[in-house]
Amino acid sequence: MRLDDLAIDNCLKCSLCNTVCPVLAADPRYPGPKRLGPELERLRREGISTDTEWVEYCLGCHRCDLVCPNQVNVSEMIARAKAAHRKPLVRGLRDWWFARPGLLGKLTTILPALSNFALSMKPARSLMSKLMQIAPQRKFPKYARPDLRSPAMTGNARQRVVFFPGCFIRYNRPGLGRTVIDLLERNGLSVEVASTECCGVPALANGDAAAARSVARANVKALARQVDSGLRIVTACSSCGHMLKTGFGGILEGDKKFACAAQKIASNTFDLAELLMAQADAGKLNTNFQHTALRLAYHAPCHQKSQGIGRPWYHLLRMIPGVTVEDMDAGCCGMSGTYGFKQEKYPVSMEIGKELFASIDAARPQMVATECATCQMQIEHGTSFKAIHPAEILLQAYDGLAPTKGRKDCSIDECECGPCRQKPEGADH
């Protein structure tokens, strides 16, 4: 018997899950996690049709799971309902592609310069808006050649770790992957880049349970050997970390061949900052930081909070002399991966992020630090501030270099991002 078969009857209808739901706060019409999760799940298990488009509006932030006093897996129930939901043809096709960022990455990086040029053109965005219902206000991240490789092994006897880069680092920001490797090596660790693809979060978020199971099995098969040989897995993406720690186990719970290996991978997976803080607690962290005059705002992504590891990046950044960090603690940014790219969800996405945008504007930092790539996109879209991964700040502090401050102006016509809204009417981008 699955654990949630027992947990469903533990729901007391206390509505704590509703009080922390970002979507419900942004749109009162949303039924909320209590209704879409355990209440309708009881009917679904009786064979009663309860299909509703509202399941598509769940962010998958897992805040409902965290606050539930009886450990009801609310978000997992909604995810299963989302997978069974029948979508219109256009949305179904769009979400099929969104569920496969690894495939998209392979195709767009054949000629990345051409792909980036095409995706930046207004006619292309208008066409995607009409044909695929992708929000034309959004700017796609640039693609780069996937040239992230394992560094050459040295003769030094170092503890080895496996770096799980995920799709965004592999296909969009391989330079960030090299930053992660450099950070780990400067802290006495030898790094091997995992030969894996997508973690599976986009597949789950877009209701493709079959694709999520497929990538989960492939990843478990690829990582099991390293874990069995005593290596730890390191992630630099909060969503990848969440998936490796909790998602694989849930997806493969009934799979005898992979379930045990998935649990072993979960217990040996660490967020980059989590591992560096463990090094600090053991007195092994390289703290040769140079003085860096920098005022930061820090945003903790939802999938980082769902891992239950505190705020390790916040504490690491405060170790750098001259750096001041203010924890925004202003809720979800509203992006949730591909969610904010969807035309019908764009208004909800921006409404959810309003509190965070306002908090950042009030703090007036020199830049924003957050470890989630799509949180960075949303923050730059909703404010006038640059957002970067905290690993970049930490690495440059070793060399006494301050990250580039400010933010380049957006090149999108009719954009609604922060800098563009603040410009005088008629001003060029």
pLDDT tens digits for 317-332? Answer: 999 999 999 999 999 9
| 189 plus 316 within the same structural domain | no
Residue 177 belongs to a domain with what CATH number? 3.40.50
What is the pLDDT at residue 415?
A: 42
Q: Is residue 147 part of a domain?
A: no
What is the pLDDT at residue 400?
A: 81
Query: In angstroms, rounded to a whole number, what is the distance separating the alpha carbons of residues 300 and 94?
Result: 29
| 268 plus 313 within the same structural domain | no
- Residue-wise pLDDT tens digits, 193-234: 999 889 999 999 999 999 999 999 999 999 999 999 999 999
| 320 plus 258 within the same structural domain | no
| 293 plus 380 within the same structural domain | yes
| 200 plus 304 within the same structural domain | no
Q: Is residue 103 part of a domain?
A: no
What is the pLDDT at residue 6?
A: 57
The neighbouring-strand residues paired with 53 are none
Q: Is residue 411 part of a domain?
A: yes
Name the residue range of residue 180's domain. 159-276
| 306 plus 376 within the same structural domain | yes
Q: For residues 302 and 75, is the Cβ–Cβ distance under 8 A?
A: no
| 267 plus 356 within the same structural domain | no
Among residues 222, 247, 276, the one where a domain terminates is: 276
Q: For residues 227 and 268, is the Cβ–Cβ distance under 8 A?
A: yes
| 296 plus 268 within the same structural domain | no
Q: Is residue 140 part of a domain?
A: no
Amino acid at 338: T
| 296 plus 272 within the same structural domain | no
**In the chain, which residues have pLDDT < 50?**
1, 406-429
Domains held by the chain: number: 3
Q: Is residue 245 part of a domain?
A: yes
Q: pTM, whole model, 2 decimals?
A: 0.90
| 347 plus 246 within the same structural domain | no
Residue with tokens 């992230």: 148
| 356 plus 405 within the same structural domain | yes
Cβ neighbours of residue 356 closer than 8 Å, sequence gap 6 or more: 299, 328, 330, 331, 332, 333, 334, 379, 382
For 370: left if phi > 0, alpha if psi spans -120 to 50, otherwise beta; the answer is beta
Q: Is residue 410 part of a domain?
A: yes
Among residues 254, 276, 298, the one where a domain terminates is: 276
| 22 plus 74 within the same structural domain | yes
Among residues 276, 308, 333, the one where a domain terminates is: 276
Query: In angstroms, rounded to a whole number, what is the distance separating the alpha carbons of residues 302 and 20?
Result: 12
Residue 47 belongs to a domain with what CATH number? 1.10.1060.10
Q: Is residue 42 part of a domain?
A: yes
Q: Is residue 24 part of a domain?
A: yes
